Amino acid sequence: MGNRKANSQYRWFVALTMFVATMATAVALIAPSPVIGEISKELGVSLGEATGATMLPFTLMVAISCIIGGAVIDRIGVPQVYAGSLILIMICEFLTLLIGNNIVALIILRALEGIGTGPIMGAVATIAAQWFPVKERSIVTGIQGMAMGLGIAVGFVVGPAIYQVTSSWQMSMAGVSIFCIISLILTFIVMFGPKPPISDNTCSTFGDVDVNSSDFKLALKQPATWLNILLIFLCSWSMQAFNDLTPAYIAIDSPVGVGLGPLEAGKMMMIYQLAYIIGSVLSGVVAIKIFKGRSKFVIFSGFIFTALFSCSIQFSAVFTNTLLFQGSLILVGLFMSMINPQVLAFVANNYPNHITGKVGGLTQGLGMFGGTPGVIVGALALHTTGQYSVSINIVAAVAIIGVVLSLWLNPPKLFVGK
């Protein structure tokens, strides 16, 4: 425990490194989204095919590598995995400049970027368990949520801004590599800095033998464990589909889209992402102050308002009124952002301390697969109909399913008192 006290301040530098690295991956994820229309034209494919090529490989490989990356982290450590992941993403971003309009090469590079992103996303439970006391772990998960929101917000603006100057969608994707360079520098500082403190009641995300390994096996038999995974799956579906489709919907000319152009779409989505960041921070306050620590009601509220306000942006009465349009985007971001942190907070508050890392990592890793069908179904609906309304309605329908399922989320009685 003395080691923990000695490194009590340094752990926040580790959290900062996690924040910047997560932000870099989020920028890489979303940078092509506001310029999907331009990518579609230059590649000679439909909007749905362009969306699928840029987003599907990334989100699919994030989910897979998130789970596998946890085991690698246990073997070689978080900083080493961070460094390898960031270098991979950075190389792929640079190589985008060399592929021209080759859609196959684009798909491969986006898949490799996803492989680099997954371990960074999945490391949060390990970082929390190795560096932070139990009472601060929910703060760490919130920090990562904030970083994801800020990274997407920056990507919505930086990507179109680079395109505006260069008229090159390849340059808009390569230019964001600066964020990987910054986070790589921080990662090397952590790599050669103090080692994480050792605690008897913490474990990393995957593979460690904890104080009572049977508790993790029991956790896998609890309905709440799998319901948590399903809730993050639905949240990932809604969030990924909304983030991927909405920028192009705002930018593309009427009657397919709203017709505001890529730069204005980036600004609108920046507002949405700022609301997402605020919601991530407020989720814990709302849970404690309003719902007395009961996460299920925050999750319920998050899903129901996500469904309502995401559906509203397809109506002309909303998107022709700047105030209503921005208000709807703000409310989607505010409430959608509360879901994921509160599912992880539910894990932290209702499972034994020595397995929260494993359960939380499993929940996030498997739940992130929801982003893949979110992209596939949304892109397929767009490709089939040529309109965004069906894709938007699917996002709302998925959120409604989350509303219903959240009502069944109750703490596993087996672990009460542990």
Mean per-residue pLDDT, 5-12: 70
Q: How confident is the model over 37-62, as a mean pLDDT?
A: 85
Confidence of residue 17 (pLDDT cuts 50, 70, 90): very high
Question: Which pair of structure tokens corresponds to residue 145?
Answer: 């949520």
Count of beta carbons in the 10 Å neighbourhood of residue 414: 15
Give backbone dihedrals phi and psi of 348, rounded to 5 degrees, phi first. -65, -35
The stretch 3-21 carries a mean pLDDT of 79
Please tell me the predicted confidence (pLDDT) of residue 416.
63
Instruction: Give the lowest-confidence range in 217-221, 261-265, 349-353, 385-389.
Output: 349-353
Cβ atoms 205, 122 nearer than 8 A: yes
As a whole number of angstroms, the distance between CA 234 and CA 70 comes to: 22
Q: What is the pLDDT of residue 209?
A: 36
pLDDT in tens, 270-285: 889 889 888 987 887 7
Q: Domain extents for the chain?
A: 2-192+213-415
- What's the rounded mean pLDDT across residues 244-250? 87
Query: Is the pLDDT confidence value at 309 over 90?
Result: yes
Worst-scoring range by mean pLDDT, 160-169, 220-229, 281-290, 402-411? 281-290
Highest mean pLDDT among 161-165, 174-178, 230-234, 285-289: 230-234
Whether pLDDT at 177 is above 50: yes
Statement: residue 205 has pLDDT above 50: no
pLDDT score recorded for residue 32: 86
Q: 201 pLDDT exceeds 70?
A: no
Dist. CA 363–CA 141, nearest whole Å: 13
pLDDT band at 304 (very low <50, low <70, confident <90, very high): very high
pLDDT category of residue 3 using cuts at 50, 70 and 90: very low
State the pLDDT at residue 187: 95
Residue 7, SS3 per DSSP: coil
Higher pLDDT, 228 or 40: 228
- Statement: residue 261 has pLDDT above 90: no
What is this structure's pTM?
0.72
Q: Which CATH number fits domain 2-192+213-415: 1.20.1250.20, 1.10.150.120, 3.30.70.100, 1.10.260.40?
A: 1.20.1250.20
Higher pLDDT, 361 or 341: 341
The candidate with the shortest Cα–Cα distance to 245, out of 339, 366, 377, 154, is 377
What is the band of 135 on the pLDDT scale with cuts at 50, 70, 90?
Answer: low
Q: What does the pLDDT read at residue 211?
A: 41
What pLDDT score does 372 carry?
80
85-130: pLDDT as tens digits:
999 999 999 998 898 788 899 999 999 999 999 889 878 777 877 7
Token readout for 49 is 């095919």
Check residue 335 and give its pLDDT: 95
CA 322 to chain CA mean position, Å: 27
What confidence tier does 206 reach under pLDDT thresholds 50, 70, 90?
very low
d(CA 51, CA 255): 19
Q: In whole angstroms, give the CA distance from residue 180 to residue 85.
A: 10
Q: What pLDDT, on the 0 to 100 scale, is given for residue 213?
A: 56
pLDDT: which is higher, 83 or 414: 83
